[in-house]
Amino acid sequence: MNHLRSNISTLIIGLSVVIAAALFSGAYKYKFKSEETVTVTGLAEKNFTSDLIVWRGEFSRKALSLKDAYGTIKDDEIKIKNYLKENGIHTNEIVFSSIAINKEFEENFDSKGNRSGSTFTGYKLSEQVTVESKAIDTVEKVSREITRLIENGIEINSMQPAYFYTKLSELKIDLLAKASADAKKRAETIASNSGSSLSNIKRANMGVFQITGQNSTEDFSEGGTFNTSSKNKKASITIRIDYTLH
């Protein structure tokens, strides 16, 4: 009787081990299958035109007397402001910086070419004017015709205009949606060709947001390119997504 009970116990233990092994095997296969993934990268691009321009000009004056130099550069400031207003720039779009003051000296040398000191040549005062406007064509015209001020005796250096877009957040969201859709389409193609179908998104990583000039040869950078020299630009973004398969 005891021998029978021992055999039955041994049989039960054996069956338990087999069943546990089968369950473990099935669970492992299920887990392995659920972790099968496909990784794809989606891309979205869009051409757009800048809606904000920033132009800067720097002007200066020099005189032996600080008072004279200051008075002259303030007169230039008034003339520049009037010129901009006369050419369609609004007062609230014009900003003048504080005045930078530098003492300038000329090196003196003796008959042997050795430095023998320096002579004060005057105070040089510099100031910058900045125009920020959505009237891009108007500001471009003003920046090109700034020589009219030079002809009137104002020493001004016109900088290259910089172009920006004020709706970058909306543009970025739109591109992310399109890049995600592109990634999903690629993943569906891969899954279909392998006899599987997409399940859930396991992981998603957004790539770098890049802005370059249209038809330019600018290189992308790891930190993101942000072109300000071109009025017509192209934005692009990538997104890397891991999908689970079933």
Mean pLDDT of 70-94: 97
Report whether 120 contacts 48 (CB < 8 A).
no
Tell me phi and psi for residue 188, to 5 degrees.
-65, -40
Residue 213 has pLDDT above 70, yes or no: yes
User: In a 10 Å sphere around its CB, with 0-12 CB exposed, 13-18 middle and 19+ buried, how is residue 237 labelled?
Assistant: buried
Per domain, the residue ranges of the chain are 36-49+167-245, 53-164
Show Cβ contacts of residue 148 under 8 Å, excluding neighbours closer than 6 positions: 83
Amino acid at 62: K
| Count of CB atoms situated within 10 Å of the CB of 130 | 15
Residue with tokens 């800067």: 56
Residue 18 has pLDDT above 70, yes or no: no
Q: Thinking of the domain 36-49+167-245, which architecture would CATH place it in?
A: 2-Layer Sandwich (3.30)
Residue with tokens 């972790």: 35
pLDDT tens-digit profile of 111-152? 888 888 899 999 999 999 999 999 999 999 999 999 889 998
User: pTM higher than 0.85, yes or no?
Assistant: no
Residue 6 has pLDDT above 60, yes or no: no
What is the pLDDT at residue 27?
Answer: 43
**In the chain, % of residues over pLDDT 90:** 69
User: In a 10 Å sphere around its CB, with 0-12 CB exposed, 13-18 middle and 19+ buried, how is residue 35 labelled?
Assistant: exposed
Average pLDDT value for the chain: 87
Amino acid at 152: N
**Residue 9: pLDDT band with limits 50, 70, 90:** low
Q: Does domain 53-164 have CATH number 3.50.50.60?
A: no
**Residue 64: pLDDT band with limits 50, 70, 90:** very high
Residue 20 has pLDDT above 70, yes or no: no
Please name every residue paired with 198 in a beta bridge, in sequence order, or none if there are none: 245
